[in-house]
Amino acid sequence: MSEYTPPEVWTWEAESGGTFASINRPIAGPTHDKDLPRGKHPLQLYSLATPNGQKVTIMLEELLAAGHTEAEYDAWLIKIGDGDQFSSGFVEVNPNSKIPALFDTTNDTRVFESGAICLYLAEKFDSAFLPTSGTARTECFNWLFWLQGSAPYLGGGFGHFYAYAPEKMEYPINRFAMETKRQLDVLDRHLADHGYLAGDDYTIADMVTWPWYGRTVRGESYDAGKFLSVHEYENVIRWEKQISSRPAVQRGVMVNKTNGPPNQQLHERHDASDFETKTQDKVG
Q: How far apart are CA 160 and CA 180, in angstroms?
A: 13
Q: Check: CB of residue 56 under 8 Å from CB of residue 47.
A: yes
- Residues pairing with 196 in the sheet: 199
Domains of the chain by residue range: 1-128+254-284, 134-247
pLDDT score for 1: 60
Instruction: Give the integer Cα–Cα distance in Å for 130 and 170.
Output: 41
CATH number corresponding to 134-247: 1.20.1050.10
Strands (E), the chain: 43-47, 73-77, 101-104, 109-112
Say how far apart CA 20 and CA 83 lie, in whole Å: 11
Q: One digit per residue, pLDDT tens: the chain, 284 residues?
A: 678 899 999 998 866 666 777 788 899 999 999 999 999 999 999 999 999 999 999 999 999 999 999 999 999 999 999 999 999 999 999 999 999 999 999 999 999 999 999 999 999 999 999 999 999 999 999 999 999 999 999 999 999 999 999 999 999 999 999 999 999 999 999 999 999 999 999 999 999 999 999 999 999 999 999 999 999 999 999 999 999 999 999 999 999 999 999 999 999 999 999 999 999 999 97
User: Which residues, in sequence order, are CB contacts of 251 under 8 Å at separation 6+?
Assistant: 57, 61, 275
Residue 17 has a pLDDT of: 64
Q: Please tell me the class of the 1-128+254-284 domain.
A: alpha beta
Q: pTM of this prediction?
A: 0.96
pLDDT at site 15: 63
pLDDT of residue 61: 98
How would you class 29 by CB atoms within 10 Å of its CB: exposed for 0-12, middle for 13-18, buried for 19 or more? Answer: exposed
Q: Could you write out the DSSP letters of every residue in 10-37?
A: ----GGGSGGGGGG--S--S-SB--PPP
- DSSP three-state, residue 67: coil
Backbone φ and ψ for 96, nearest 5 degrees, come out as -85, -5
Nearest-CA neighbor of 230 among 164, 166, 158, 139? Answer: 158
